[in-house]
A and B are shown apart, each in its own frame.
Chain A
Amino acid sequence: MRLVSGSNGISRRTLLKVGSAAAGVGALGALGGLARPALASSTSATITFAYFGDPKQATSMQASLLPLVKKADQNADLKVVGYNGTDWNDFFAKILTQIAAGAPPDIVGVATEGVQLMAGKDLAIPLDDYVKRDMSELKEMFDDVDPILIEGLMYDGHLFELPVNFNAGNMFYSTKLFKQAGLERPPENWTMDDFHGYAKKIGALPDVNAFDWIVRLWGSWTSFMYANGGNLLEEQRFDNGDWLWGAAYPGNDAVKTRKGGWKWGAPTANSAPTVEALQLMIDLRKEGLAPSPDVGGGGTLQGLFASNRIGMTIGGGFWAGGLHNAGMTPDSFDVQYFPKWKEQKHLFGVVGNAILKSSKNQDLAWEVVKQLSAADAFDLQFPGNATTPVRRSLMTAERYKSTGPEHWNVFYDTLTKFPNTTPIPAPPYYNALANALNRRTTEAVASGNAKSALDGLQKDLEAAAKV
Chain B
Amino acid sequence: MRGEALFGYAMILPSLLIVMLFTAGPILASIGLSFYSWDVISPPRFTGLDNYEQLAADQTVLHSFAVTLGLAVSIVVLEILIGLGLALLVQQRRNTFVRATFRTVFYLPLLASASSVAIVMGYMFDQKFGVINYYLGLLGIPNVPWLTSDFGATATIVIIAVWQQVGFAFVLFVAALSTMPQDVLEAATIDGAGPGHTFLFVKLPMISPTILFVAVVGIISAMQLFDQPYVMTKGGPGYSTTTTVLLIYQTAFQNLQFGYGSTISVLLLLVLIVLTAMQFFGARKLVFYQ
Interface, chain A (partner B; CB < 8 A): 3-5, 7-8, 10-12, 15-16, 18-29, 86, 89-90, 93, 96-97, 99-100, 121-123, 209, 212, 291-295, 300, 303-304, 309, 429, 431-432, 434-435, 438-440, 442-443, 445-447, 453, 456, 464, 467
Contacts and interface: CB of A to CB of B under 8 A. Distances in A.
Given A23-B265, A25-B261, A291 B127 contact: yes
29 contacts: A5-B44, A12-B41, A12-B43, A19-B26, A19-B33, A20-B26, A24-B261, A25-B261, A26-B33, A27-B28, A27-B29, A28-B28, A28-B29, A28-B32, A90-B254, A93-B254, A96-B41, A100-B40, A100-B41, A123-B41, A293-B148, A431-B256, A432-B254, A439-B237, A442-B234, A442-B237, A443-B238, A443-B239, A447-B237
B25 A27 contact: yes
A89 B254 contact: yes
A-B pairs, 9 with minimum CB distance: A19-B29, A443-B238, A28-B32, A442-B236, A5-B43, A292-B148, A446-B237, A442-B237, A100-B40
A123 B146 CA distance: 41
Nearest to A89: B254
B179 to A, nearest CB: 35
Contacts, number: 171
Interface stretch (B4-12, B95-103, B245-253): B245-253
Contact of A25 (B33, B128, B235): B33
B150 interface: yes
Contacts of A438: 234, 236
A209 B129 CA distance: 12
A89 B254 CA distance: 7
Interface string B127-158: 11100000000000001010111100000000
A25 B29 CA distance: 6
B238 A295 contact: no
Given A25-B258, A25-B265, A292-B148, A442 B238 contact: yes
Contact of A18 (B25, B46, B237, B250): B25
A4 B38 CA distance: 12
B281 interface: no
What interface size band does chain B fall in?
A: 35 or more
B45 A8 contact: yes
Interface in B1-39: 22, 25-26, 28-30, 32-33, 35-36, 38-39
Contact of A26 (B29, B235, B265): B29
Contacts of B129: 300, 303-304, 309
A433 B143 CA distance: 31
B44 A453 contact: no
Contacts of B116: none
B115 interface: no
Contacts of B25: 18-19, 21, 27
B38 A26 contact: yes
B148 A12 contact: no
Interface in B227-270: 233-240, 242, 248, 250, 252-258, 261-262, 265
B194 to A, nearest CB: 48
A300 B35 CA distance: 42
B126 interface: yes
A424 B237 CA distance: 23
A54 to B, nearest CB: 15
A12 B237 contact: no
Contacts of B113: none
B290 interface: no
A446 B238 contact: yes
Nearest to A96: B40
B121 to A, nearest CB: 14
Contacts of B261: 23-25
Contacts of B92: none
B41 A4 contact: no
Contacts of B28: 19, 27-28
Given A27-B29, A122-B41, A445-B237, 10 more contacts: A3-B42, A7-B46, A23-B265, A28-B33, A28-B35, A99-B41, A431-B256, A439-B237, A442-B233, A443-B240
A304 B130 CA distance: 12
A435 B248 CA distance: 13
Contacts of B242: 439
Contacts of B252: 23-25
A127 B20 CA distance: 46
A97 B253 contact: yes
A101 to B, nearest CB: 9
B281 to A, nearest CB: 28
